Amino acid sequence: MAHQLVLIGGGYAGMYFLRTTLDLLPSDVEVTLVDRLPKSPLKTEFYSIAAGTSSLKEVTLPFPHHPQLTVVYDEVIGIDQEKKQLTLREKDILPYDTLIVALGCVDRFHKIPGAEEFSLSLQSLKRAQITGHEILTLDAYRSVVLVGAGLTGVELAAELRETRHDLNITLIDRNDLVLNGFSDKLRQYVETWMTSHDIQVQHGIKAQSIFCDHMVHEQGELAFDKLVWTAGIQANPFVQLIVGADFDSIGRVIVDEEQRLPSNPDIYVIGDCAASEHPPTAQLAEFHGEYVGQVLAGKWRGQQVPKRSFTTKGILGSLGRGTGFGTLKGVDMSGKIPRMLKSGVLWSYKKHVEKK
């Protein structure tokens, strides 16, 4: 009987896992990918869907084709680790011998009353499309508030300014400058860009509660027509169903050096739902997927795979279609070149995973 390897989630980590393993599969291993969508989403580009500058085709990729790969379009809602089977929303039970969990992340609302109820989101393709519809169909001169001035909030604000020059856009954050974690030089560059493009940035704002048309914070109230939440993430809540797992502060599963659940070595966790000393990024998810693919290929061949450590290649961000910023190998960049580099990275990723 064939060994059943089940992969839950077809995002960056899942696609790199498949890209690594499919041509290395023994004849007695069958792979099943479970995902709600019929294509792999490019989540880092969802801000462009919400801003109306990218099409659905541009932010999704087809899943690979392989004679030993079956793709099931469904959602996993339960797990029985003793019986080694998953419960699906539509197709009932799916057995596994080896399980790869690559379910990514969801918004983290920090227990702020009304935040989940009244916020728009970018954490799924469906939600990004809804967010785009809600914002892009606003009447002229309405107000949009973006909560969180990290990379996603900054990129959305900049791209939205290109498509809706009439909107009043406000970016709020609890820090003293945008892009916490970047160099002061880049943070000031982006801050100046925002001001010069008529995007209001408010600092030191900590939301206390959110209502349908305004938010309450420590300094007072802020009215809006639409509010988008980009102020933190946490692991997909499904991982809380895994018996014997321990979690970090944002709900990610603590794993061993091979990304396995210490209490159950038949379960691997990769991507944004796996605990790491590094912040969640597409780069880290891709690294996890490729590494676990190599680990399993080594096991099938009876070979030991050397431990690999993750090193970021840098971070690139966009300020609309013509300008960008970022850090590569410790060197700060701003202007047209980092924007071109970011487009090149996206093109390279598409070509890499589409080879299958």
**Tens digit of pLDDT for each residue in 107-137?**
999 999 999 999 999 999 999 999 999 999 9
User: Could you tell me the pTM of the whole model?
Assistant: 0.94
- At 183 the three-state DSSP class reads coil
CATH at residue 174: 3.50.50.60
Same domain, 118 and 199: yes
302 in a domain, yes or no?
yes
Sign of CA dihedral 273, 274, 276, 278: negative
Q: Are residues 121 and 220 in the same domain?
A: yes
Same domain? For 201 and 243 the reply is no
Any domain includes 68:
no
In a shared domain, residues 142 and 153: yes
Q: Which of 215, 231, 247 is at the close of a domain?
A: 231
Are residues 63 and 11 in contact, defined by beta-carbon separation less than 8 angstroms?
Answer: no
Q: Is residue 127 part of a domain?
A: yes
Q: What is the mean pLDDT of residues 11-40?
A: 96
Domain for residue 14, yes or no?
yes
* Confidence check: pLDDT of 356 > 60: no
Residue 215 sits in the same domain as residue 252: no
Specify whether 117 is located in the same domain as 227: yes
Q: How confident is residue 329, by pLDDT bands cut at 50, 70 and 90?
A: confident
pLDDT category of residue 72 using cuts at 50, 70 and 90: very high
The number of folded domains in the chain is 2
Q: What is the pLDDT of residue 164?
A: 96
Nearest-10 crossing angle of helices 336-354, 12-21: 50
Domain containing residue 182:
109-231
The residues, any chain, with a CB within 8 Å of residue 46's CB and separated by 6 or more, are: 59, 122, 123, 125, 128
Q: How would you classify residue 45: left for phi > 0, otherwise alpha for psi between -120 and 50, otherwise beta?
A: alpha
Are 177 and 79 in the same domain? no
What is the tens place of the pLDDT at every residue in 238-280?
999 999 999 999 999 999 999 999 999 999 999 999 999 999 9
303 found inside a domain: yes
Determine contact, residues 144/258, Cβ cutoff 8 Å: no
Do 14 and 119 share a structural domain? no
Instruction: Tell me, yes or no, whether 198 and 117 share the same domain.
Output: yes
Banded pLDDT at 355 (limits 50, 70, 90): low
% the chain with pLDDT above 90? 92
- Rounded Cα distance between 51 and 228, Å, is 12
Q: Within a domain: residue 326?
A: no
Query: Does the structure show a pLDDT above 60 at 58?
Result: yes
Q: By the 8 A CB rule, do 163 and 136 touch? A: yes
Residue-level pLDDT at 91:
85
**Residues 123, 150 within the same domain:** yes
Instruction: Write down the pLDDT at residue 36.
Output: 94
Q: Assess if residue 330 is contained within a domain.
A: no
Asked if residue 191 belongs to a domain, the reply is: yes
175 and 255 part of one domain: no
334 within 8 A of 320, measured Cβ to Cβ = no
Q: Are residues 121 and 87 in the same domain?
A: no
Residue at which a domain ends, from 185, 206, 231: 231
Of 274, 291, 309, the residue at which a domain comes to its end is 309
